[in-house]
């Protein structure tokens, strides 16, 4: 039959294909040292045993508040950091402890885009030098020469080939992030890990950059891991979403399932904070949950379920026993004793912990809408201020990122205090 013939010519669906990235029991503890002898007195448990896969061609969104270990996870899977434990497999190859030399061929396949388009581009280098650096580092000579290829890449990300001889300070935040994307794509990577790629940008250009990444994915057959602290950023581009809290994955599900019926109370709280753009829902009466307080320290995370100090459903079992990440619905993994949108697993355990009664706050929609407007206005004002002052970048991503983290923590504190 002709229909079967045509079908045979098209590659079969590759759902059962092996994942591009497979992570098992991944751990990163940063040692805390003290005194003259620099004795280790403890550890920051930034990533504390996570398992997940990234499928070929998909976008995996990773969300959670600041300090939950998202960036550390990103740096582990791109092997910018050495894991303390667990296993990372890229395209079937164990890369957990590959040396720098061993990682070299892989550096082409796995690229990272950073949060801060100001700090991650060296201000003393031209755009041409910046985007051609990966070719030099890898000793690759593209067909037609480096300059031509760099100009092609600039066009690909919506910039002009004439920008080749210009300097980073001549560009806006959104344009700089496009330059960062061009650099990441130079060596035709297979996987791109983007760590809060639009968090530092004006709200009005965030969508443009995310959409550019989405278009490039289709065009170049990329696989993405996109990290964000805000669910609204990853909503439209993710196929699946992993929610992280204090070094753990607490929920991992298909995007639609996660948005329509979140099962982990933390996911529900994060979603509550996202203003709903759907006009049909705007008038509807609903109350949402506002998380109180800060993420506890990863040096001594809470016992049992790490979220129990902030969860409005926490009971005794939550304090004593850590819930495993389990597939409660097809494709939806959750780590919780009392999941939402599911019949309770621990019906005998109904007495709320004293702290639970104060943990979450139900807030009417109108109040949230107001605060969303305010925070959007604040973000826009901050971005405008940065546009005028942000030209003195050090070129050191680490420093810039540390400032970002500090800023984020301040913002989180302010929101928590309200
Ligand atoms: N190099 C480091 N040394 C010590 N602690 C670190 C280091 N990098 C990150 N951390 C800590 O690990 C935790 C997770 O950080 P991070 O991965 O940056 O979280 P996120 O990206 O979700 O904000 C934080 O408490 C942070 O202070
Ligand atoms: S109900 Fe218990 S297990 Fe579930 S998130 Fe809350 S504290 Fe954790
Ligand atoms: Mg981060």
Nearest alpha-carbon partner for 241 in 25, 45, 52, 88: 52
How many angstroms separate the CA atoms of 183 and 178, rounded? 9
| 72 CB near ligand 1 (under 6 Å) | yes
Of 45-54, 206-215, 238-247, 358-367, the one with minimum mean pLDDT is 358-367
| Joined tokens for residue 99 | 């040396």
215 and 250 Cβ atoms separated by less than 8 Å = no
71 C-alpha to center of ligand 3: Å?
Answer: 4
Summarised one tens digit per residue, pLDDT across range 97-147 is: 999 889 988 989 999 998 876 778 899 999 999 999 999 988 889 989 999
253 against 12, higher pLDDT: 253
Q: From the CA of 46, which ligand is nearest?
A: 1
Burial (CB count within 10 angstroms: exposed 0-12, middle 13-18, buried 19+), residue 343? exposed
How many angstroms separate the CA atoms of 101 and 291, rounded? 45
Q: What phi and psi values does residue 44 have, to the nearest 5 degrees?
A: -85, 115
17 against 277, higher pLDDT: 17
pTM of the model: 0.82
User: How many other CB atoms are there within 10 angstroms of residue 281's CB atom?
Assistant: 10
Q: Is 277 a domain residue? A: no
Select, from the ranges 21-25, 106-110, 171-175, 315-319, the one with the highest average predicted confidence (pLDDT): 21-25
Question: How, if at all, do strands 326-329 and 332-334 pair?
Answer: antiparallel
**Residues with Cβ within 8 Å of residue 165, at least 6 apart in sequence:** 126, 127, 128
Q: Is 96 a domain residue? A: yes
Q: How many domains does the chain contain in total? A: 1
| 66 CB near ligand 1 (under 6 Å) | yes
Summarised one tens digit per residue, pLDDT across range 337-353 is: 999 998 866 666 777 88
Model pLDDT, residue 402: 36
Q: Measured from the CA of 315, which atom of ligand 2 is nearest?
A: 2
**Res 302 pLDDT > 80:** yes
Q: Is 186 a domain residue? A: yes
**What residues does the ion ligand 3 have nearby, CB within 5 Å?**
71
Of 182-191, 298-307, 379-388, the one with minimum mean pLDDT is 379-388
**Residues with Cβ within 8 Å of residue 330, at least 6 apart in sequence:** none
**Percent of the chain residues topping a pLDDT of 70:** 76
Domain membership of residue 229 as a residue range: 21-31+42-243
Select, from the ranges 37-41, 191-195, 201-205, 412-416, the one with the highest average predicted confidence (pLDDT): 191-195
Count how many Cα atoms sit within 13 Å of the Cα of residue 394 in the half-sphere of its side chain. Answer: 8
Q: Is 323 a domain residue? A: no
Measured by CA distance, the residue closest to atom 1 of ligand 1 is 30
Summarised one tens digit per residue, pLDDT across range 375-396 is: 555 555 555 554 544 433 333 3
Q: Is 320 a domain residue? A: no
Summarised one tens digit per residue, pLDDT across range 246-284 is: 999 999 999 999 999 999 999 999 988 765 444 444 444
**Residues with Cβ within 8 Å of residue 145, at least 6 apart in sequence:** none
83 and 25 Cβ atoms separated by less than 8 Å = no
**Res 81 pLDDT > 90:** yes
The average pLDDT across 400-413 equals 38
Pocket test for ligand 1, best of 41, 48, 67 (most atoms within 8 A of CB): 67
Q: Is 365 a domain residue? A: no
Q: Is 347 a domain residue? A: no
Count how many Cα atoms sit within 13 Å of the Cα of residue 344 in the half-sphere of its side chain. Answer: 9
Measured by CA distance, the residue closest to atom 4 of ligand 2 is 336
Angle 173-185/203-220 helices, nearest 10 degrees? 20
The average pLDDT across 73-95 equals 97
285 against 271, higher pLDDT: 271
pLDDT class of 197 with cuts at 50, 70, 90:
very high
How many angstroms separate the CA atoms of 314 and 322, rounded? 12
| 180 CB near ligand 1 (under 6 Å) | no
Q: Is 311 a domain residue? A: no
196 and 119 Cβ atoms separated by less than 8 Å = no
Model pLDDT, residue 406: 38
The average pLDDT across 170-192 equals 93
Question: How, if at all, do strands 59-63 and 223-228 pair?
Answer: parallel
Q: What's the whole-number average pLDDT of the chain?
A: 82
Pocket test for ligand 2, best of 244, 262, 338, 357 (most atoms within 8 A of CB): 338
CATH of the domain at 129: 3.40.50.300
224 and 185 Cβ atoms separated by less than 8 Å = no
């Amino acid at each position: 039959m002709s229909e079967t013939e045509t079908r045979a010519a098209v590659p079969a669906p590759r759902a059962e294909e092996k994942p591009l990235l497979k992570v098992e029991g991944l751990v990163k503890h940063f040692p805390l040292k003290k005194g003259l002898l620099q004795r280790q007195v403890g550890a920051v448990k930034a990533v504390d045993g996570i398992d997940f896969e990234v499928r070929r061609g998909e976008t995996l969104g990773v969300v959670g508040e600041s300090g939950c270990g998202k960036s550390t996870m990103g740096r582990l899977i791109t092997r910018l950091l050495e894991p303390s434990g667990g296993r990372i497999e890229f395209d079937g190859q164990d890369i957990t402890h590959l040396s720098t030399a061993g990682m070299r061929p892989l550096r082409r396949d796995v690229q990272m885009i950073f949060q801060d388009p100001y700090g991650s581009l060296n201000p003393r280098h031209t755009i041409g030098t910046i985007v051609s650096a990966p070719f030099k580092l890898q000793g690759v000579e593209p067909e037609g020469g480096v300059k031509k290829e760099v100009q092609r890449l600039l066009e690909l990300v919506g910039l002009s080939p004439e920008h080749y001889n210009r300097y980073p300070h001549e560009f806006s935040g959104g344009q700089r992030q496009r330059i960062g994307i061009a650099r990441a794509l130079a060596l035709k990577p297979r996987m791109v890990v983007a760590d809060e790629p639009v968090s530092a940008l004006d709200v009005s250009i965030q969508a443009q950059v995310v959409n550019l990444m989405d278009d490039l994915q289709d065009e170049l057959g990329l696989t993405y891991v996109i990290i964000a602290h805000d669910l609204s950023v990853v909503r439209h581009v993710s196929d699946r979403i992993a929610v992280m809290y204090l070094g753990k994955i607490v929920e991992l599900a298909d995007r639609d399932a996660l948005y329509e019926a979140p099962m982990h109370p933390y996911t529900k709280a994060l979603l509550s904070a996202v203003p709903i753009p759907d006009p049909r829902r705007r008038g509807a009466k609903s109350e949402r949950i506002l998380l109180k307080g800060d993420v506890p320290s990863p040096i001594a995370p809470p016992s049992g379920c790490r979220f129990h100090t902030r969860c409005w459903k926490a009971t005794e079992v939550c304090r004593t026993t850590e819930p495993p990440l389990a597939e409660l619905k097809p494709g939806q993994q959750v780590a919780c004793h009392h999941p939402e949108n599911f019949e309770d697993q621990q019906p005998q355990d109904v007495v709320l912990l004293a702290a639970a009664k104060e943990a979450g706050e139900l807030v009417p929609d109108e109040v949230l809408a107001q605060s969303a407007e305010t925070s959007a206005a604040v973000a826009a004002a901050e971005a405008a201020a940065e546009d005028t002052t942000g030209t003195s970048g050090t070129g050191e991503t680490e420093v810039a990122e540390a400032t970002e983290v500090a800023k984020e923590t301040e913002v989180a504190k302010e929101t928590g205090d309200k």
